[in-house]
Amino acid sequence: MEDTTGAEQDADNVIRIMVATDNHLGYGEKDAVRGEDSFTAFEEILELAVSEDVDMILLGGDLFHDAVPSQNSMHKCIELLRRYTFGDRPVSLEILSDQAQSFHNAVNQSVNYEDPNLNIAIPVFSIHGNHDDPSGFGRLSSLDLLSTSGLVNYFGRWTDLSQVEISPILMRKGESQLALYGLSHIHDGRLARLIKDFKVKFNCPDTAAAEGKGNDGKGDKNDTETEEDWFHLLVVHQNRADRGPKNYLPEELLPGFLHLVIWGHEHDCRIEPELNAKKGFYVSQPGSSVPTSLSEGEAKKKHVGLLEIYKGKFKLKELPLRTVRPFVFESVVLPDRAEELGLDQGDASTKVFKFAKNRVEDMLERAKAQLTGHPRQPTLPLIRLRLLYTDESCMFNAIRFGQMFSTQVANVQDVVQFSKMIKRSKTETVSLDKEALRRALEADNATRVEELVDRYFDEAKSNKPLRLFHSKALAEMTYRLVERRDIDAAENIVKFYKEKAVDHLMESMPNEENIDDELLKFRTRHKHEDLLKMLDTQGVKVKRDDKSTSVLGSEANASTATTTGRGRGRGRGAGTGRGRTSAASVATRGKAQLEMTVNNARASSRQQTILGSITRGTRNTASYVISDDSD
């Protein structure tokens, strides 16, 4: 983490920001025991902002737990914001950018503390998350209501999901200048497509200077100095943990000119800035201020951050929350304790019951250590004991178990959670017909992968014949997976074949010993061309897994990257060719700019299918010129 001594010496030049994410106001509000937890923690955050004399509060999304919060939640939120953020204290931040472009649904199209009708002492800046995103008639978010009432400065809101353009809020305090970028929540799959299609663009403070560069692209020597005067801070609300290729936002896709990223959405607290060695920026994940699930990550100590920015340096001070309800989580693998507990003999359920009771009593003692003495901190703890089992004889009634601790815990109904361990057995290896594979590879006309698949099964059919599929259907499946990048091709074709085969068997109703003969009749009766045409006429939508490089995903040290892609659409000839993509990025940490120019010529592609002719249509080019000198 970068530090600064200047921040301690000259407070007039230091921007002080209270950072928090995922407050989830209104979570469990109807619970008689836990209903006030989210509001209590949020009030403590506002109190810390006042006591630490911050210049602004920065929220990373999910202020509310529900997209349409209850009247109770909205009322309490408004009450707290008015109590702690209104006042006569002057705000030292000067906005330099176009405010009408930055703040959505603001009455005067400006930051709230410049509204002559409001007395704002601590401005609150927030993006929206996946829980409080725009929805319903008018596509309004709960933050739109707070913005219109002048309580919150709502920024980073997308208005066009066909292309996302992120312009920073430029602000200054003394000698420090901050470029604040906001990316409110977008569905991870959609965001992945936008990035791959070069549809996410960052506008940097020195864009105008960059546009004045000469043809050599080097620009004025003062450009770098201008860039270094800005501290680039990004707030995002996306999946950070890898939950699949299209279910998270990789850090490496973010531009390298950033100094710090505040990451919302993930609830486990990792607030200490972590360096991304590849891109050179830091990532801080404050986590939620209230646990919304009884998981291991939520059991970590809750914090908010005090961010101090002095010119191009920063320091993040961790502030523990003292009003959060104590929470102890423990996971036990019962098979590992089988010998110790004697689960192989006698009543295993009774033995596990006694073991769990002792563990919970021990966890209650540990929960006492989390009591801070704060007058508003709830004293009844959250306890979650997760028991991993393989044999159901170890289970008992978890609800009845929880009733024993009805006056000692806040979550009586789910103190114990049974989770079955799945034994993953190694699947049998399929031995290939090596001789058939060799002949397929040596064939003169088998140069494409689907042709190799087709020829292999033709060569191997005498030894290992296919019982249900046609070899050309498997070849077609391979073609769609490899060439068209249709990630659902295998699932769609296999499912369709199974459905048709079942229909055929239901019509003929053969005896068990005659099923193989009926399946052979099925393959003879239904040609692969007919089945695949029937599948395509059903309108199965193709999901592409395009691996082309994006604006944000270009490698910092890669000078040129070229990828090829095919058109999308139903069948083979309905799509428009995407052509070749070229991306150039310069890996010098100078000016921070991310520009994109797209020239896309569209034309209809010719029929492309191995079911008929294998004639390929002409490919149309789409050129992308990317400059990222900041990496």
Secondary structure (H, E, C), 58-99: EECCCCECCCCCCHHHHHHHHHHHHHHHECCCCCCCEECCCH
Nearest to 80 by CA among 20, 127, 33, 141: 20
- Alpha carbon 624 to chain centroid distance? 26
SS3 call for 304 = strand
Q: Can you tell me which residue has the tokens 């407070």?
A: 11
* Contact present, 37 and 104 (Cβ < 8 Å): no
SS3 call for 323 = coil
Which run of H or E residues covers position 308?
A: strand 303-310
Q: Which long-range contacts (CB under 8 A, 24 or more apart) does 545-548 make?
A: 545/245, 545/485, 545/486, 545/487, 546/196, 546/485, 546/578, 547/196, 547/485, 548/196, 548/578, 548/581
Q: For the residues of 397-465, what is the DSSP string, one character each? A: -HHHHHHTTTTT-S-GGGSEEEEEPPP-PPPPPPPP-HHHHHHHHH-TT--SHHHHHHHHHHHHTTTS-
Which run of H or E residues covers position 6?
A: helix 6-9
- Residues recognised as catalytic: 131
Burial 488-524 (b: 16+ CB within 10 A, else e): bbeebbeebbeebbeebeeeeeeeeeeeeebbeebbe
- Taking the CB of residue 93, how many other CB atoms lie within 10 A of it? 19
Residue 342, CA distances (Å) to 317, 332, 525 in order: 49, 15, 60
Burial 31-57 (b: 16+ CB within 10 A, else e): eeebebbbbbbbbbbbebbbeeebbbb
Kindly tell me the sign of the dihedral angle through the C-alpha atoms of 515, 516, 519, 524: negative
* Contact present, 591 and 550 (Cβ < 8 Å): no
- Residue 101 Ramachandran class (φ > 0 left, ψ -120 to 50 alpha, else beta): alpha
**Distance from C-alpha of 167 to C-alpha of 421, rounded to nearest angstrom:** 48
Token pair in block for residue 612: 């008929």
**Residue 43 carries which side chain, given as an amino acid letter?**
E
